[in-house]
Amino acid sequence: MTRRPLLLQLLAMAALAALGLPRAARPQPAQSAQSGYPARPIRWIVPYPAGAGADIVARTIGAQLALDAGQPVAIENRAGGNTALGAIEAARAPADGYTLLSADNGTLVFNPALYRNLSYNPSRDFAPVTLLGRLPMVLLVGPSSGVKDARAFIEDARAFPGKVSFASAGTGSPQHLAMALLEREAGLEMVHVPYRGAAPALADVAGGQLPVLMCDLAASRRFIQGGKLRPLAVAHPTRLAELPGVPAFAELGMPRVEAAALMGLVVPASTPGEVVMRLQQSVASAIHAPAVQRKLAEFGVEPVGDAPAQFAALLQGESARWHPLIRDLNLILD
């Protein structure tokens, strides 16, 4: 009784095959569609204004990526909301590998602890692709400061609790939290003066309006080279090649004073794994192109280009490290 219907089914399947069933309807269509990635222009969202550090890094890597992939890479600046506007735009985009987001540790690590009503969820909305690079933090004073080294600065600040003010790029910024970390590890009590970005904070310390700040090397490099700011220590495991005469905090007995602005790349969460891997390989290849390496090094960026799993593990570790400090400081931005 059952053989005839089965025979009819088999004959129907054979007839469909004879008609030339499209390959996309056969098994593993997703892999076939993804094998040509990228097949059209890529949109790279940067949640900072044009000319900012994240923008320069994206444009430097994106230009090489476009050459390697044979497809245009359009940088789109979506500044605002402490990177939230760009993050929301990227989270709503199709999960097809054609919308990328530059995401730093503010976007992916700090904001979830700083905002009670964050308009996006990093772990839910994004898939990590790679860490583009690190921007190590440096303790800086103005040229008129009588402090010559980090030990002397720490001793002076410890002797006058609540009397020393420091600048930052803004409340909850990597620069602010790096100095807060130093305060905790060195037992200091200082007054925080937040600015709207690193540039005005650097200018005021260079001009003597405030005595000190912690800032990434990329933003402060020209001030240091021009003699307008003096580096005292670097918040990095070892000395930086760009500042060989400046000690790491680890050399001063404070190995936990380690901080950097992290620049990463993410895509919408449901982006196929194969596309994520192809994208990571392409971006890592672009990062390691000699011309890109030179430009990033000149800008003060330590290039990386690691695997998605490594980037994800780093973000987990950074969250575990910084969230307790943010809670201890009672920092809430909404």
pLDDT at 34: 52
Identify whether residues 108 and 125 lie together within a single domain. yes
Sequence-separated (6 or more) residues with CB below 8 Å from residue 28: none
Does any domain span residue 10? no
pLDDT at 11: 35
Final residue of a structural domain among 232, 252, 272: 252
User: Which 3 state secondary structure label does DSSP give 120?
Assistant: coil
Identify whether residues 221 and 152 lie together within a single domain. yes
DSSP 217-230: HHHHHHHHHTTSSE
CA dihedral 249, 176, 81, 89 (to 10 degrees): 10
Q: Give residue 296's Cα distance to chain centre.
A: 14
- Pick out the chain residues at pLDDT < 70: 1-35
Does any domain span residue 197? yes
- What residues are paired with 204 via a beta bridge? none
Q: What's this model's pTM, rounded to 2 decimal places? A: 0.85
**Residue 98 carries which DSSP code?**
S
Does any domain span residue 119? yes
Decide if 132 contacts 265 (C-beta within 8 A): yes
Does any domain span residue 266? yes
pLDDT at 247: 98
State the CATH number of the domain containing residue 231. Answer: 3.40.190.10
pLDDT at 30: 37
* Residue whose token pair is 């094998």: 35
Q: What is the pLDDT of residues 101-131, one digit of tens each?
A: 999 999 999 999 999 999 999 999 999 999 9
Domain of residue 57, residue span: 42-134+261-328
Does any domain span residue 12? no
